[in-house]
Chain A
Amino acid sequence: MEYFIQQLLNGLTLGSIYGLVAIGYTMVYGIIGMINFAHGDIFMLGGFAALIVFLILTTFVAGVPVALALLVMLVVAMLVTSLWNWTIERVAYRPLRGSFRLAPLITAIGMSIVLQNFIQVTQGPRNKPIPPLVDDVFHFGDVTVSLKQILIVLVTSVLLFVFWYIVNKTPLGRAQRATEQDRKMAALLGVDVDRTISITFIMGAALAAVAGSMYLMYYGVASFADGFIPGVKAFTAAVLGGIGSLPGAVLGGLLIGLIESLWSAYFSIAYKDVATFAILAFVLIFKPTGILGRPEVEKV
């Protein structure tokens, strides 16, 4: 039983990270109907930004408080990845918005290759380990909860609330929802569609950066190739929860995290990714709208 609870906690932590990345996928898909293939690599960029900031901080300021260091890492990573995602949208996706549907998908795959190789070239192909930032653990009977797990779940919850508030209660969120429903009509009613889409990309990148920093903190290692698999899993999460739905993305993320950790614990670690991909296939085949998604009406 303790073992089960332990795995549940691990899954929850991992699921929070996937959920954060999944929000980026789901928001972009919702608003422009495109799979942002490079989103996983934006997540990886976020992790690298946090890593570099961490290294600089630890050399210049000895004994910097951990909370402050984490905050600086998060903020810088969010800013840098936002810049990247904004630029990528402007350069690679926006000019193709009126083009045929495969075009932005191809540029997104191209951008994904570019980002991965850019980091490989500039930062080297080796794994980058960092010393643990927070290593406090709490014991409840046989169950161990580490402080970083608590931090990850806490930060995810806070961010989720903030984003839920932005999307549902602010004028910006209203513009986003309007653009999602009908881009042309929204433009006619005075919504700056281009700006709204840009902001959506920035929001997605910021969340991915937080997720990337958390991932770095959790595993203590960053690599240029770390974007693809978590990216696909986060996309699976978005689809599982119902693409276009914010709570769905988080729910999907948590489910994927749980399935992954329980599968590794009880079946086989080697096939944990197969499990995730199989779920993705099954969900899409039998319930393409996901758990919380709206059915898509087939238009002529």
Chain B
Amino acid sequence: MANSPVTTSEDSSGLMAKAIKEGLFAGLLALGMFLLYVGIETYQNIDNKLVWRTRWGLLAIFVIASAVGRFLVVGFIRPHIDQRKLANAKAGIPEVSDHKSFFQTHFLKIALVALVLYPPMAVMLNGVQGSLKFVDNFGIQILIYVMLAWGLNVVVGLAGLLDLGYVAFYAVGAYSYALLSDQFGLSFWILLPLAGILAAFWGIILGFPVLRLRGDYLAIVTLAFGEIIRLVLMNWTEVTGGTAGISGIAKASVFGIYSFDVGASNNFAKAFGLPMSSAYYKIFLFYVILGLCMLTAYVTMKLRRMPIGRAWEALREDEIACRSLGIDTVKTKLTAFAIGAMFGGFAGSFFAARQGFVSPESFVFLESAVILAVVVLGGMGSLIGIAVAAIVMVGGTELLREMEFLKHVFGDDFTPELYRMLIFGLAMVVVMLFKPRGFVGSREPTAFLKERKAVSGSFTKEGHG
């Protein structure tokens, strides 16, 4: 009915009736679902006894919002989308267009220049101290996730091996740096590659037993490994400091020339006669992580052109065919695991240097889920898509911390941070529902006959390995 191009009055009245019916149903459903959890609030009173009170107003808002939302979707939004799709299909607009604007062809260069200019811009607009928030909370935070997601992309996006325990390698990198710099006083620039190597080593150790597993089973075993590493970090108190973690981790230096320790004689700010501020360290770290991200992207792009990269993609598309053609699947899978883990290790040691503090709290399963979500939402295999997804998902949730003005709307008790993960979860679901192939729905093919043509993401396979 909604699909028919000609909408008669009879159709629309039928549609309205349907929309009202569905809206009422959604309202009833919401009443059933939220009556206990929203309608009633449990809290501890002064005697520490659990008591309850009602919140009928809030419940009413939930129920009405569900009913009205469903009514609008069925009555207006869905018919509108259907009609647009139909019009597109008639006009014959293809899913992926070959036409590229100036912005699209030069996107990478523009983005890189913008990123390099980002910290000076932040300093100019907000002053040295004011730039901290933009460089650290947004810049570094997002770039760490970009790097992690690009690292995981090697495993999930290219080799098609679903890894739910990626955060383990992040943890290995962070603890390697924390422990080795603490015990042996080695510098960041020695430990960064070392942390990467150690993480890659763990990638091979954990990858080896799971080689025979496929799809979901692989996902669950990697989840188990991730949790095991976290639990060991949490309980092996003598070495890792247990839940308290390790604090006072040494800062990174500008290749040993300038230091960011306040007391040091070669302190960066002192050397240049600048006022003391922690912002310089963050700006320096911003460029470090930017460089690490570029390295990740470069290595990934190079590897895709090499035999091993092609083997990964072949493995993702069809493991049996891959084996029949004589590709060593063991070697292929292990290198994917190792290289993915190595980037995780780099990011981990960077994380430790930035925070100055590591604890098992930072390496919970949720982190793995967030990184995987960024990879999948970005459109697996597409570096730009993943970067966009990281900016939207991580930057978006960071933005929520800044939404002080919401306090004026919802009252002073309102803390936007509380809703951060709730909104993140909802966004994961919603993006997946509307764009199951991620933000960037097209791929640059690795191998091609005459000319390079973008293919729709729907043609690439995943997660068989």
Contact = CB atoms under 8 A, between A and B. Distances in A.
A106 B373 contact: yes
Given A232-B227, A281-B209, A281-B221, A107 B40 contact: no
B185 interface: no
A118 B422 contact: yes
Interface residues of B, number: 60
Contacts of A126: 44
A96 B32 contact: no
A145 interface: no
A146 B210 CA distance: 42
Contacts, number: 178
B52 A100 contact: no
Contact of B376 (A52, A106, A278, A284): A106
A79 B51 CA distance: 23
B225 interface: yes
Interface in B396-441: 418-419, 421-422, 424-429, 432-433, 436-437
Contacts of A124: 41-43
B432 A274 contact: no
B291 interface: no
A147 B221 CA distance: 37
Contact of B37 (A48, A112, A113, A298): A48
A95 B430 CA distance: 11
A281 B228 CA distance: 10
B96 interface: no
Contact of A239 (B220, B422, B424, B432): B220
A106 B221 contact: no
A103 B432 contact: yes
Contact of A100 (B209, B224, B320, B463): B463
A4 interface: no
B306 interface: no
A1 to B, nearest CB: 30
B84 interface: no
A249 to B, nearest CB: 15
Nearest to B369: A109
Nearest to B209: A285
A196 B248 CA distance: 57
A111 B425 contact: yes
B33 A123 contact: no
A51 B429 contact: no
Contacts of B461: 100
A102 B52 CA distance: 41
A116 to B, nearest CB: 8
B32 A52 contact: no
A235 interface: yes
A164 interface: no
A110 B432 CA distance: 9
Contacts of B425: 110-114, 117
B33 A80 contact: yes
A129 B51 CA distance: 10
Nearest to A92: B429
B317 interface: no
Interface string B155-166: 000000010000
Contacts of B44: 126, 128
Interface in B269-298: none
Contacts of B38: 122
A56 B232 CA distance: 41
A130 B210 CA distance: 43
A80 B34 CA distance: 9
B215 interface: yes
A272 to B, nearest CB: 9
Contacts of A167: none
Given A96-B432, A103-B432, A106-B376, A285 B210 contact: yes
B244 to A, nearest CB: 15
A49 interface: yes
Interface string B27-50: 001001101111011111000001
A218 interface: no
Interface residues of A, number: 68
Contact of B50 (A101, A110, A129, A270): A129
Nearest to A86: B29
Interface in B190-220: 209-210, 212-213, 215-217, 219-220
Contact of A285 (B212, B428, B433): B212
A91 B376 CA distance: 19
Nearest to B231: A274
Nearest to B35: A80
A278 B151 CA distance: 25
Contacts of B210: 281, 284-285
A274 B217 CA distance: 18
B432 A101 contact: no
Nearest to B51: A55
B372 interface: yes
A118 B372 CA distance: 22
A100 B436 contact: yes
Given A101-B215, A112-B425, A83 B433 contact: no
A95 B216 contact: no
Contacts of A48: 36-37
A87 interface: yes
B314 interface: no
Interface in A115-164: 116-124, 126, 128-130
A172 to B, nearest CB: 22
Contacts of B50: 51, 55, 128-130
Contacts of B427: 110
Given A129-B50, A300-B320, A113 B33 contact: no
A52 B231 contact: no
Contacts of B262: none
B209 A277 contact: no
B462 A100 contact: yes
B422 A114 contact: yes
A204 B10 CA distance: 42
A280 B36 contact: no
A37 B40 CA distance: 27
6 A-B pairs with the lowest CB-CB distances in the bound complex, closest first? A110-B428, A113-B425, A114-B425, A117-B422, A277-B224, A110-B429
27 contacts: A45-B37, A49-B36, A52-B40, A52-B42, A52-B52, A76-B36, A80-B35, A80-B36, A83-B32, A92-B433, A101-B215, A102-B380, A102-B463, A103-B376, A103-B436, A106-B376, A106-B432, A107-B432, A109-B373, A110-B427, A113-B428, A114-B425, A121-B419, A126-B44, A274-B232, A280-B220, A284-B220
Given A109-B428, A117-B421, 13 more contacts: A48-B36, A49-B37, A55-B51, A87-B33, A100-B461, A101-B462, A102-B376, A102-B380, A106-B373, A120-B422, A124-B41, A232-B224, A280-B224
